[in-house]
């Protein structure tokens, strides 16, 4: 029982082949520079065999064909026949309000996704192109769309609405959608298992290059920090997160940006990269701070402060909390960010144990007496997609 997970961008395609009998990764790979000159596929199998193929991929169809060739290669692949793949799970950015959970892909699903391209113009075209190509090269293998947004579909209206006229929301569907849903779902489920309580009140902090927080109760998302797009919420690697909308037009005019450039600026030139002036990577910022760089220190403090504010507001939303959970590249690896976020949160019964926090791989990083569990739970978005795909296609 093998499931292929596809995560396609506009010019890249990440894939993993997962054996669902034990949820182990058989191989993983990446196609880069699709539609550009200088295309490249790299692949690694579970037993360390590596493939590098340098070949142009004019479209996602050639990329998919190359992926199949690499997986089927006698020496460096791991499949004898395409028929060994029971199902394919595609990561799709946006469900709009059309889907509230993952869905088996048919022509109608593709039509709806095409209609929703305007909600995710950078990602949706690549997602759709890849689904279509995959159907062409793989024929009748069942395929599932797993959306970044649907875990958040349970948010109540008072949480997902913006303070704009109701008819504008209705007509244009301008509202909070939330993203990173596969990660929030996976981590909240894993946390529920670890706590032995799937109904626990949790605040899940997914902190990576892109970051978001969700408030989860009874396994359902109650609120999340990303919004209409992934720009809202936390201060991220290169994204500003929350900013007064009136400052955006002011900033645009002062910097002489074209209207279509300003969102790109807030996505790509801001966040801790813009504040520090030299890096979006927490490892670089931590090293620089330790050498006395004040802007790196400020960037880290601002990032952690914004997380703390959201954690506090979500504890209020949930009416208390059983577990505060860190995940993602920063959440799993930066003891500094975790300690800055959790500093002085004793008031709500959450007390971090700094010794445990410093130990890599420790799950519980709260003190013995802490009423609230503080946890580090690694995310696994590909496995989350594979599980959804298995469930929907009922692959045995």
Positive or negative, the CA dihedral 20, 77, 141, 131 is positive
Q: How far is the CB of 244 from ligand AMP (least distance, A)?
A: 26
Q: What is the DSSP string of 95-162?
A: -TTT-SS-EE--HHHHHHHHHTGGGSTTTHHHHHHHHHHHHHHHTT--EEEEESSGGGGGS-HHHH--
**Rounded Cα–Cα distance for residues 156 and 283 (Å):** 37
Alpha-carbon gap, residue 87 to 51, rounded angstroms: 23
How far is 20 from 26, CA to CA, in rounded Å? 10
Least gap, CB of 8 to ligand AMP (angstroms): 17
d(CA 72, CA 219): 39
Residue nearest to ligand AMP (CB): 329
Smallest distance from ligand AMP to CB 271, Å: 11
Of the residues 107, 148, 322, 353, which is catalytic? 148
Helix (H) or strand (E) holding 107: helix 107-115
Least Å distance, CB 329 to ligand AMP, is 2
CB of 335 to ligand AMP, least distance (A): 8
- Note the residues at the interface with ligand AMP (CB under 6 A): 208-209, 237, 281-283, 328-330, 333-334
Classified as helix, coil or strand, 109 is helix
Dist. CA 392–CA 390, nearest whole Å: 6
Given the complex with ligand AMP, which of 128 and 205 has the nearer CB atom? 205
CB 188 within 8 A of CB 219: yes
Nearer to ligand AMP, 60 or 91 (CB): 91
CA distance 4 to 88: 5
CB of 239 to ligand AMP, least distance (A): 12
Q: Is 322 within 8 Å of 308 (Cβ atoms)?
A: no
| Helix pair angle (294-318, 335-342), 10° resolution | 50
Our CB check for ligand AMP shows the closer of 29 and 329 to be 329
Taking the alpha carbons at both ends of the chain, their separation in whole angstroms is: 6
**Would you say 88 or 285 has its CB closer to ligand AMP?**
285
Nearer to ligand AMP, 102 or 333 (CB): 333
The yes-or-no answer on residue 148 being catalytic is yes
Nearer to ligand AMP, 45 or 380 (CB): 380
312/378 with CB nearer ligand AMP: 378
Q: Tokens in use for 229?
A: 């797009």
Pairing of strands 211-217, 220-224: antiparallel
* CA dist., res. 338 & res. 347, Å (int): 17
Please tell me the distance from the alpha carbon of residue 71 to that of residue 5, in angstroms, as a whole number: 13
Find the helix or strand (DSSP H, E) in which 60 lies: helix 60-72
d(CA 16, CA 24): 10
Of 71 and 330, CB closest to ligand AMP? 330
β-pair type (211-217, 143-147): unpaired
Catalytic residues: 148
């Amino acid at each position: 029982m093998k499931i292929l997970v596809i995560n396609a961008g506009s010019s890249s395609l990440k894939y993993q082949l997962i054996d669902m009998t034990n949820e182990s990764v058989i191989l993983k790979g990446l196609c880069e520079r699709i539609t550009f000159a200088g295309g490249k596929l790299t692949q690694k199998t579970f037993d360390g065999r590596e493939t590098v193929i340098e070949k142009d991929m004019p479209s996602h169809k050639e990329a998919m064909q190359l992926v199949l060739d690499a997986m089927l290669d006698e020496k460096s692949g791991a499949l004898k026949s395409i028929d060994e793949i029971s199902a394919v799970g595609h990561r799709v950015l946006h469900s709009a309000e059309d889907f509230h959970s993952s869905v088996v892909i048919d022509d109608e699903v593709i039509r709806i996704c095409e209609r929703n391209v305007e909600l995710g113009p950078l990602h949706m075209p690549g997602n759709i192109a890849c689904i279509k190509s995959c159907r062409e090269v793989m024929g009748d293998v069942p395929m599932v769309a797993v959306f970044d947004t649907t875990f958040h579909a349970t948010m109540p209206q008072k949480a997902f609405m913006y303070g704009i006229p109701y008819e504008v929301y209705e007509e244009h569907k301008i509202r909070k959608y939330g993203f990173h849903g596969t990660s929030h779902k996976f981590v909240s489920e894993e946390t529920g298992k670890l706590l032995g309580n799937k109904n626990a009140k949790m605040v899940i902090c997914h902190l990576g290059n892109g970051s978001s927080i969700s408030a989860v109760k009874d396994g359902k998302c109650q609120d999340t920090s990303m919004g209409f797009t992934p720009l809202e919420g936390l201060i991220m690697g290169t994204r500003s997160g929350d900013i007064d909308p009136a400052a955006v037009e002011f900033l645009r005019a002062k910097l002489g940006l074209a209207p279509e450039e300003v969102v790109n600026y807030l996505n790509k030139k801001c966040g801790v990269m813009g504040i520090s002036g030299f890096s979006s990577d927490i490892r670089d910022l931590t090293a620089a701070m330790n050498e006395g760089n004040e802007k790196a220190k400020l960037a880290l403090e601002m990032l952690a402060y914004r997380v703390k504010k959201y954690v506090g507001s979500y504890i209020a939303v949930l009416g208390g909390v059983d577990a505060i959970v860190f995940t993602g590249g920063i959440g799993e690896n930066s003891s500094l960010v975790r300690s800055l976020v959790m500093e002085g949160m004793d008031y709500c019964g959450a007390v971090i144990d700094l010794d445990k926090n410093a130990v890599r791989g420790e799950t519980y990083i709260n003190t013995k007496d802490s009423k609230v569990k503080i946890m580090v739970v690694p995310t696994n978005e590909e496995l989350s997609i594979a599980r959804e795909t298995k469930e929907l296609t009922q692959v045995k």
